[in-house]
Chain A
Amino acid sequence: MYDTIIIGAGMSGLAAGIRLAYYDQKVCILERHTTIGGLNSFYRMNGRDYDVGLHAVTNFTPKGEKKGPLARMLRQLRFKWEDFSLSPQIGSRIAFPGCSLDFDNDIRLLTAEIADKFPGQVDNFQSLCDKIVDYDDLDQATFEISTRNVLKETISDPLLIEMLLCPLMWYGNAREDDMDWGQFCIMFRSIYLEGFARPFKGVRLILKNLVRKFRGVGGELKLRRGVAEIKVDGDRAVGVTLDNGEEIEGKRILSSAGRLETLRLCEDVSEVDVRQSGQLTFIESISILDREPSKLGNDRTIVFYNDSEKFDWRPPADDLCDIRTGVICSPNNYEYGPEDGKLDEGVVRITTIADFDRWNNLDEQKYKIEKLNWYDKSVESAVRFVPDFRGHVVDTDVFTPTTIRRFTWHDKGAVYGAPDKQLDGTTHLSNLFLCGTDQGFVGIVGSLISGISMANQHCLRD
């Protein structure tokens, strides 16, 4: 009998597991995949190491800073700042036709860029920042206010509104077109007020630290152990049945599988409303280059581009992908320390919006062809906003919404989960709780915080 059974060994499940095992609970993490990490794992192909998700660790604050999610997460998991070996970004860009805004980990650069390119909006931007700093608690009602309405009241230039929204939606918005005000505030802080960083060794360093810590405090991690069903007695979960038929009992269950995905596992739930599932998913086109991107004139860490003045954040209307907007990340362009040196090869990662159903409906042959096709189209679209690197590509990889779905089991491969978040993490069962993406915090630091706070709130105080 476990004190807590955790479903999923992604960031949120591992963080929750560390908290509970540290305080002497008997904890087991069950993970269906052969490896840990979930949406942010890593793999090896053609002799090269790839990260699945990692462009940037958001919420970066320097050593010594005590406030903010990064510091809080490190304290709660008993890590030292050095354990994550984060190197700050060089600098990123929001690129729209005829207008770009550079930003880095110091809000003064973005403020100066706005003063330069939108001189009439300086005071408006300041009042937006003031509203965000004021905002502090996450009650469900204020969380769900329309961001576009707040922005319209605060900023009078529509182009600036679209430009500010672009990176924040890209890195954490599960809702189409608009964004929850709470989510906007979280993302604004984590990207513009805090910033981007990356461990030289990529996401595997973070994951290895998490697993080592979890095992070190006595937690059990079982890979290749998918949960097929959550056993229910009255209003309580009593345990799980695994894909292999094995049964495991627990006093409570914390699930990072997603809200609908978790409900569907419950023995007492016959049907879930699939209209509530998230629709936003991506393809990622990775290019390995024969030299660093900076040698080709691209010194930006991340470029968020959009090829018209209006930024559309929704699934493609009538095609496999929508490449009018995208994210171009160059992992080489971080300020790695002397002890790290430089990455072995140049890398450019391009993310564009994709449609799960259309990808899922392709037959195997067509799927392979479309991967190549959309790699070409994505890169072609991106090189309008960064120097053309196509003559220097030595290897490529592409993953699609169906890849994401296959390795994480999230409905529709939705990267940021369902649009309606369950901030308190509760479900219809009194001892079944949610953590991770569908509880409300996304991204690496966000999902770690989610695991920590749901563990604290629901699993520790008895």
Chain B
Amino acid sequence: MSPADIRDVIIEILEDIAPDEDLSSLKDDVSFREQMELDSMDFLDIVMELRKRHRVQIPEEEYGELASMESTVTYLTPKMADI
């Protein structure tokens, strides 16, 4: 998957986690926590959804890489290159 595809995947997941959220104005360089008030339970969900939908495994020590859209896409690009 290209970085743009990965971004779409994350947007889809966020839409599911936070159905009341308007994601069209999401800023890629600002943390999810700050913009959407996501907490640790929500981050677990992003991890679980990636596993459920795309079989991507993310070790617990690396959850921090999912802080913002930018960092998430950067982190996932090598992991999802062959999907």
Q: CB of A23 within 8 A of chain B?
A: yes
Checking B18, B36, B41, B52 against A23 with a beta-carbon cut-off of 8 angstroms, the contacting residue is B52
Give Cα distance in the complex from A456 to B45, angstroms. Answer: 9
Give Cα distance in the complex from A81 to B16, angstroms. Answer: 13
Checking B21, B42, B48 against A460 with a beta-carbon cut-off of 8 angstroms, the contacting residue is B48
Interfacial chain B residues near A64, Cβ < 8 Å: 20
**CB within 8 Å for A80 and B20 given contacts A24-B52, A461-B60:** yes
Query: Which residue of chain B has its CB nearest to the CB of A461?
Result: B60
Stretch in A49-57, A71-79, A311-319 with 4+ CB within 8 Å of B: A71-79
Q: CB of A453 within 8 A of chain B?
A: yes
- Grouping DSSP codes into helix (H, G, I), strand (E, B) and loop, the B interface class, with mixed when no group exceeds half, is helix
Checking A63, A66, A80, A456 against B44 with a beta-carbon cut-off of 8 angstroms, the contacting residue is A456
**CB within 8 Å for A66 and B36 given contacts A75-B17, A80-B20, A460-B44:** yes
**CB within 8 Å for A66 and B37 given contacts A24-B52, A460-B48:** yes
Q: CB of B39 within 8 A of chain A?
A: yes
Interfacial chain A residues near B42, Cβ < 8 Å: 75-76
Give Cα distance in the complex from A265 to B20, angstroms. Answer: 42
Q: CB of B19 within 8 A of chain A?
A: yes
- The B27-45 residues at the A interface (CB cut-off 8 A) are 36-37, 39, 41-42, 44-45
A73-91: CB near B (< 8 Å → 1, else 0) gives 0011010110000000000
Give Cα distance in the complex from A201 to B44, angstroms. Answer: 33
Q: CB of A67 within 8 A of chain B?
A: yes
Give Cα distance in the complex from A23 to B45, angstroms. Answer: 10
Please give the number of chain B residues whose Cβ is less than 8 angstroms from any Cβ of chain A in the complex: 17
Checking B18, B20, B36, B45 against A63 with a beta-carbon cut-off of 8 angstroms, the contacting residue is B20
Interfacial chain A residues near B17, Cβ < 8 Å: 75, 78
Give Cα distance in the complex from A406 to B28, angstroms. Answer: 54
Give Cα distance in the complex from A23 to B48, angstroms. Answer: 7
Cross-chain contact A78 with B37 (CB below 8 angstroms): no
Cross-chain contact B16 with A78 (CB below 8 angstroms): yes
B27-71: CB near A (< 8 Å → 1, else 0) gives 000000000110101101100100110000000100000000000
Interfacial chain A residues near B60, Cβ < 8 Å: 461
**CB within 8 Å for A67 and B44 given contacts A75-B18, A80-B19, A461-B60:** no
Q: Smallest CB–CB gap between B64 and chain A, Å?
A: 16
Give Cα distance in the complex from A97 to B25, angstroms. Answer: 54
Cross-chain contact B52 with A456 (CB below 8 angstroms): no
**CB within 8 Å for A453 and B41 given contacts A24-B52, A461-B60:** yes
Give Cα distance in the complex from A81 to B20, angstroms. Answer: 8
Interfacial chain A residues near B16, Cβ < 8 Å: 78
Interfacial chain A residues near B21, Cβ < 8 Å: 66
> Which 4 A-B residue pairs are closest in the complex by CB-CB distance?
A66-B37, A23-B48, A80-B19, A67-B37
17 A-B pairs (CB sep. < 8 Å):
A23-B48, A24-B52, A66-B21, A66-B37, A67-B37, A72-B41, A75-B18, A75-B45, A76-B41, A76-B42, A76-B45, A78-B17, A78-B19, A80-B20, A452-B41, A456-B44, A461-B44
* 13 further A-B pairs in the complex, CB-CB below 8 A; given A78-B17, A461-B60: A23-B48, A23-B51, A23-B52, A66-B37, A75-B17, A76-B41, A76-B42, A78-B16, A80-B19, A81-B20, A456-B44, A460-B44, A460-B48
Binding site for A on B (CB under 8 A): 16-21, 36-37, 39, 41-42, 44-45, 48, 51-52, 60
